[in-house]
Structure 1
Amino acid sequence: MHRISEWIMKHRRLVLFGWLAVFVVGLVLAPTVSGRLRSGLALSSPGFTANENLARQFGGAGINPSVLLLTFPKGTTADAPGATAALRAVEATIPHDQGIRSVSYLTTHAPALLGAGHQSTVVLLYPADAQTDTVDTAVMDRLAHAATTALPGTRTDVTGVEQLAAGGGSGGTSVLVEVVIGAALALVILAWVFGSFLAVLPLLTGLVSIVTMLLAVLGLTYVFPGTRFNPSIEAIVAILGLGMSIDYALLVVTRWRESRAAGLDNDQAVRAATVRAGHAVLVSGLTASVGLVGLVVIPVSFVRGVAVAGLFIPSIAALVSVSLLPALLRAFGPALDRFRWRRRDGDRLWRGWARGVVRRRWAAAAVGAAVLILLAVMTTAINIALPSLRSLSSGGPARTGLTQLTADGFPDGTLTTLPVLVRPGLDPAAVGDRLATAKGVVGVLRPTDAQWRAADGTSVVFAMPARQIGEAGQGSVLAGIRAAAPSADAVGGNEILQHDNSHAVYHAFPYALILVAAITFLFLARALRSVVLPLKAVLLNLLSVAATYGCVVILWQWGHGLHALFGLNSSGAVNGLAPVLLFGFLFGLSMDYEVFILSRIQEAHDDGASTDEAVVEGLARTGRLVTCAALILFATLVALASASDPVVKIIASGLAIGVVLDATIVRSLLAPALVSLFDQANWWWPGWLDRTLGRPLTRTRPAARGASPVANVAQRAALPDDPVLARPSTGESGGAH
């Protein structure tokens, strides 16, 4: 870090203009990122194979259907001339020439497509290609108009899984709106923390980081063309990148202020902040990335795409904070910090708290552990499944359509009707008969029109389940349908693919968890020169993640507070991909705060403090910082939770809960209490590990035993083995504030 600091100070104009160039290029290319992102899941599984074959021959037949419900006037049945005319009008209006396909009573005569008393019917519509989630709303409106024109008095409703997930027409906030909300909340908190215009710098580095991250994602889509980078990545990168960048910048700027207050001039303060805080930022950034490295071993393209893109969030945030921010502090720091509207000693409260924790270490450890274990126990009740249809939306036209659908006697499974490929040489009628005998199947649809027969003779029949496929407890139904089908890779559909992906994810998840824990331990052991501290950090992080899972179960599975926060109903389950992605991000974020605190504790100990004194000094110096950083990250995650994607909502809310738990229970209570309890054992470091893991990124020369850690700030600026800090200022310095 000494050489990095010196290089930045010598070439600060190059650093500033270099990042300006990256920012401008990023702004120009950022709008093109969304066009390179693709939804869907890729996995070598029977469901994926079936959907690929369906897409190649029948467009979007593997997508959940858009459902048009026709409820005829009282006394009119589906076989009546008026109802038949309405169905024919709908079929005639469908733009088949654009590739849109349909399944209706008119083309199948399947009783499963008729409601109670035969006074209603559904038309299932599939988009032209597998990259489109739904049939266009304008098309659905034209079909509804055609039906009501042909048979006045007919009620029409449109529903479907995707329509419900979109909130019945509400698409959630855009990424830009989320960033603006997050940035505004962060600026308010930063202004409260710094009490001066210095608050602008962390926000500025956050914006540069976001643009750079989006530029990196754009590059990744070209470097890894076979990986599906989901559109939700754009929001995750932008919002999480903003929060992490500001957190890292907060650490550096706070250290710069401390150095100025200790009597260093501006150049020396920038060097000190870059070396000391910069080291913690780099360790935090790399450690946070480790949490996502483990997800790369999961053989699901969507998860790998999020993991690979997510790796750049902490790494770019750290890079900006240790390069651009020092250059900005050198150029503008004193001027921005000259006029303060708020001055206070933020250490006093935290110093008193730290002394109380150290004095009552056993009680603090017991209380902290009890809270986390109690929440973690809730994780044992977690139910991994797709959210129920009714939990996707609490209102809107799509929810009204679902309510009417079930009132007319149709099962929920209508919305997840499964396409089954019938290859040349097989009899569709015989395949349909076998499917009709499968457990949980209430009807089989055998369309006879040309739109469902390919040139090579391949055709499609549809199995309608009684309940939503992918919902909790439907695994045996899916297994029965696959057993009755010609082959497992003949059954397609979105829910099939989700089921296969969930199975693959949780088969590989334990290996990912072990890999992440092992790499994190080794990395922290090398950085902290301790065996106990990194082991404690990893175990506490795992406990913190488990406690967060417990909170996710309470909120999303049991629904306590869900309607008040998001206007949604409980699904009785947690979406299959959410816990894995939540682990990847939360493990790294939690480790950030651990590194912040342990770095200051270790530094105080190296300065000659006892373990208890080091804990008090470390927590006093970082307690307010970690709290403010967590508050900023919480604010940005609240903005992210407004996204329409239910998986993103779960991840964002889970991260927000996890950050609060970590900054309060773990880092302010349990972690310092355990460091105090372990005392000298914290610093145990066998010589063979020193030879095995090599030297850390930086070493701190111990000060005289008994010297005050605060007083040693100025002393470290002139250490013989710190030539960069000892170098006299060559430019404008300004006085300490």
Structure 2
Amino acid sequence: MFENIGQFVVKHRKGVFIGYLISVLVAGVIGAGMFGSLKSQGYDDLGSDSAAVDQLLKSDFDTRDASVILVIDTLASIDDPDSVTAATDLLEKVADEENIESIVSYWNSGQESLKSFDGNAGLALVYFTKGLDSEQAAATAKNIQDTYDKESAGTRAYVGGIEVLYEAINGQIRDDLKIAEAIAIPLNVLMLLFVFGAAVAAGLPMVVALGSIAGSFFVLFLVTQFTDVSVFALNLITGLGLGLGIDYALLIVNRYREELARTNDVNASVIKTVTTAGRTVFFSGLTVALVLASMILFPQYFLKSFAYAGVSVVLFAVLASLIALPATLALLGHKVDKFKIRRGDLKPKESGAWSSLATAVMKRPLLIIVGTVTLLVTLASPALDAKFSQVDDRVLPASNPAAIASDQIRDRFESQIPVEVLVPISVSIADVNEYAKTLVADQNVVSAFTSDSFIEGETVSPLPPEQAVAASQAHHRITLYTDVESRNMDAQDLILRLRAIEPPVDGTLIGGQAAIFTDSQAGISDNLPEVLGWLTIATLIILFLFTGSAILPIKAVILNMLSLGATLGVLVWVFQDGNAMWLVGDFTVTGSLDTSTLVLVAIVAFGLSMDYELFLLSRIKEEHDNGADTTTSVSAGLQKSGRIITAAAVLIAIVFACFMTSGVTSIKMLGLGISFAILLDATVVRGLLVPALMRVAGDWNWWAPKPLRKLHARFGINE
């Protein structure tokens, strides 16, 4: 199979190369159309009870969240005549802006909940015209923020709200991505020149990276025509596209140089490279793609987006590595090493530091195993205290105007994000009020509104119709106000307690932001066993087909779990506990980790770890298949792949580490998590633990029961 691919590419090298360039250009131009369709939401489970409540509130109660929330600080009592005049004048100007449907404020409604605790500021809830698309809503929100978030005419206005936050996060990510690329690309160019040793060879990773990134943009453009896609997927495409371009180019070019030095025949070297290193790239890419595809099992489109993006970027990287890169090498021939940067011979050496390291490790394997496992477990220990939450305004820099406005709302006003309860209309209003009293008895529920009553503690007060929450034709509505944040573990505990209270009738639904958070967390935890099963089974099958061993795949999964545990521990220590800001930059410490970002880090790191596992095992297995014993195979395999693995890890770590320059905390977390996991895996795990374990296992490394040996003989993919 792979030999046939190599022969085809060599024979049609010019046509393949030109066709590839045209395809990349077309894909990039069309794919650029997806940028305006990406969204910064996607953390919610749209199939949950809370999502049903959200939909019913919009359709049956004509209730929706304010698009923009203004905090208007009058610098004196908001009931002072001058304050009233200043605030009213400001809101009249806002109301005249394009796409504004209505404004509900303290000054036109008299609602005490819209008055700050100190009495010097009021809230204005701004509702956009219905039917705006995401671009129009974002532009309107940005216009209001740019125009009114300032001090003027006796007021200081702060502009926040959901649309402002979305636009702030999107804009921050767009700007941060430019900065990260401006840092990562020059650094990687310098590193590529050093690692490849020649200017021409150093440019070859871009052949793979450009194709994988452009192809992925094209796929995401198609996906956005049918479903929502998160803007955060861009970070994965650029980071993984550059990273895999470097990984696979290093492997392919290194093997090509090796074969060219041995045969001095360009065509034969390209074919042999595709047959050997190409096979490794294929299995590696297949493994990484299947690992990333597991995120499709989660209900949130934030995580599904990374499945679309991740699978696309990996498959296009594999395609470019098997087709375009060999065609380029066939065209370059011996000129691949033109414009040498390093002195001496650039072909891989048969012995050196890596073989010496492997030999030293295998002399004391038990000591190395105990030491490295102890290190990994120690790094993982902070994970025992991990607390989970979701993204809110605090992912932005504290100096961001949207974050400042959100702090004003959080610190100076009653909670504006209630828990909403819908009870089927068949229940009497008296029973609804009794149920509401039971809910208010919870320690974190402050008060409740029903269609005819206000309930606070044991007191039930009748309400005039204009202050009550009206029922729809199908449901009574209970609005609960609480004293907890809506997107943390306290909110989750509250919702679980409220749902444990027996409702007056089946079909009662509990929603609101706290319930949305709870259901989103449940969407992840409930599907996690399936995802872990997917990862484990896919890894075991592919590594078995690759090696024919029943032992090596199990060992790989266990080591990956140890490595991921250590990474989680570091993330808890940094982002939950607020350490190492000197490394990652300033961020707001919330005492918790964003669950979705953590899942993303774990799955991407798992996939890349398998990437390096296959790089190493491919050379060890090749030596073993050629008759070497386990010790010699490991030593020679690590010598031939160790430099590639380490160089690839450093280069891809640079790409993701540059994400730590972002002002968005979840992007910082993504950058540190993946870069740390990669470096840990490429050094401690692949350089120390794998050789030590393989030395202890000896010939058992290659063991498989007879039925599996027959299965591999029939279905295993060989050169």
Residue 72 of structure 1 contacts residue 83 of structure 1 at CA under 8 Å; is this kept in 2?
Answer: yes
* Separation of aligned partners in 1, 2:419 and 2:103: 14
Q: CA deviation at 1:219?
A: 2.8
1:243 aligns with 2:243: yes
Superposed, which structure 2 residues align to 1:84-233 within 5 Å?
Answer: 84-95=84-95, 98-128=99-129, 131=134, 132=137, 136-140=141-145, 148-149=152-153, 152=154, 154-160=155-161, 166=168, 170-171=172-173, 173=175, 175=177, 178-197=180-199, 198-222=201-225, 225=226, 227-233=227-233
1:338 aligns with 2:338: yes
CA separation of 1:107 and 1:461: change in aligned 2, threshold 3 A = farther
CA separation of 1:19 and 1:206: change in aligned 2, threshold 3 A = same
Q: Tell me the equivalent position of 1:580.
A: 599
Q: CA deviation at 1:404?
A: 4.9
2:632 pairs with one of 589, 608, 613: 613
Q: CA deviation at 1:84?
A: 3.4
Q: Tell me the equivalent position of 1:258.
A: 258
Residue 61 of structure 1 contacts residue 419 of structure 1 at CA under 8 Å; is this kept in 2?
Answer: no
Residue 43 of structure 1 contacts residue 301 of structure 1 at CA under 8 Å; is this kept in 2?
Answer: no
SS of alignment partner, residue 260 of structure 1: helix
Superposed, which structure 2 residues align to 1:168-567 within 5 Å?
Answer: 170-171=172-173, 173=175, 175=177, 178-197=180-199, 198-222=201-225, 225=226, 227-343=227-343, 347-386=351-390, 390=394, 392-402=396-406, 404=408, 409-410=412-413, 413-414=415-416, 416=417, 439-442=443-446, 463-479=480-496, 489=509, 491-493=511-513, 496-562=515-581, 564-567=583-586
1:3-22 superposed Cα distances (whole Å, 9 cap, x missing partner): 11112112222311221221
Q: CA deviation at 1:607?
A: 1.5
Residue 31 of structure 2 contacts residue 219 of structure 2 at CA under 8 Å; is this kept in 1?
Answer: no
CA separation of 1:299 and 1:485: change in aligned 2, threshold 3 A = farther
CA separation of 1:357 and 1:163: change in aligned 2, threshold 3 A = farther
* Separation of aligned partners in 1, 2:224 and 2:563: 33
Residue 72 of structure 1 contacts residue 155 of structure 1 at CA under 8 Å; is this kept in 2?
Answer: yes
* Separation of aligned partners in 1, 2:63 and 2:148: 19
Q: What TM-score results when the alignment is normalised by the length of structure 1?
A: 0.83
Residue 114 of structure 1 contacts residue 121 of structure 1 at CA under 8 Å; is this kept in 2?
Answer: yes
1:35 aligns with 2:39: no
CA separation of 1:660 and 1:325: change in aligned 2, threshold 3 A = same
Residue 211 of structure 2 contacts residue 316 of structure 2 at CA under 8 Å; is this kept in 1?
Answer: no
CA separation of 1:356 and 1:162: change in aligned 2, threshold 3 A = farther
CA separation of 1:501 and 1:640: change in aligned 2, threshold 3 A = same
Gap regions ≥5 residues in structure 2: 451-463
* Separation of aligned partners in 2, 1:535 and 1:503: 29
- 2:55 partner amino acid: E
Q: CA deviation at 1:448?
A: 8.6
1:250-277 superposed Cα distances (whole Å, 9 cap, x missing partner): 1000111111222432112111211111
* Separation of aligned partners in 2, 1:66 and 1:576: 26
* Separation of aligned partners in 1, 2:170 and 2:336: 48
Q: Tell me the equivalent position of 1:12.
A: 13
CA separation of 1:641 and 1:104: change in aligned 2, threshold 3 A = same
Q: What TM-score results when the alignment is normalised by the length of structure 2?
A: 0.85
Q: Bigger CA drift: 664-673 or 263-272?
A: 263-272
* Separation of aligned partners in 2, 1:680 and 1:126: 70
CA separation of 1:176 and 1:11: change in aligned 2, threshold 3 A = farther
- 1:376 partner amino acid: A
* Separation of aligned partners in 1, 2:381 and 2:256: 42
* Separation of aligned partners in 1, 2:493 and 2:82: 41
CA separation of 1:678 and 1:489: change in aligned 2, threshold 3 A = same
* Separation of aligned partners in 1, 2:229 and 2:102: 28
1:88-140 superposed Cα distances (whole Å, 9 cap, x missing partner): 33543443883555443235433332223423222233444584579613324
CA separation of 1:537 and 1:458: change in aligned 2, threshold 3 A = closer
- 1:52 partner amino acid: Q
Q: Tell me the equivalent position of 1:679.
A: 698
- 1:218 partner amino acid: F
CA separation of 1:563 and 1:488: change in aligned 2, threshold 3 A = farther
Residue 74 of structure 2 contacts residue 87 of structure 2 at CA under 8 Å; is this kept in 1?
Answer: no
SS of alignment partner, residue 262 of structure 1: helix
* Separation of aligned partners in 2, 1:398 and 1:324: 46
Q: CA deviation at 1:247?
A: 0.6
Q: Tell me the equivalent position of 1:705.
A: none
Percentage of pairs with the same residue:
27
SS of alignment partner, residue 157 of structure 1: strand
SS of alignment partner, residue 512 of structure 2: coil
CA separation of 1:488 and 1:460: change in aligned 2, threshold 3 A = closer
* Separation of aligned partners in 2, 1:87 and 1:489: 38
* Separation of aligned partners in 1, 2:149 and 2:589: 31
Superposed, which structure 2 residues align to 1:642-657 within 5 Å?
Answer: 642-643=661-662, 645-657=664-676
CA separation of 1:468 and 1:168: change in aligned 2, threshold 3 A = farther
CA separation of 1:455 and 1:384: change in aligned 2, threshold 3 A = closer
- 1:619 partner amino acid: L
Could you say what the CA RMSD is over the residues aligned between the two structures, in angstroms? 3.7
Gap regions ≥5 residues in structure 1: 701-737
CA separation of 1:628 and 1:593: change in aligned 2, threshold 3 A = same
* Separation of aligned partners in 1, 2:697 and 2:534: 26
CA separation of 1:182 and 1:143: change in aligned 2, threshold 3 A = closer
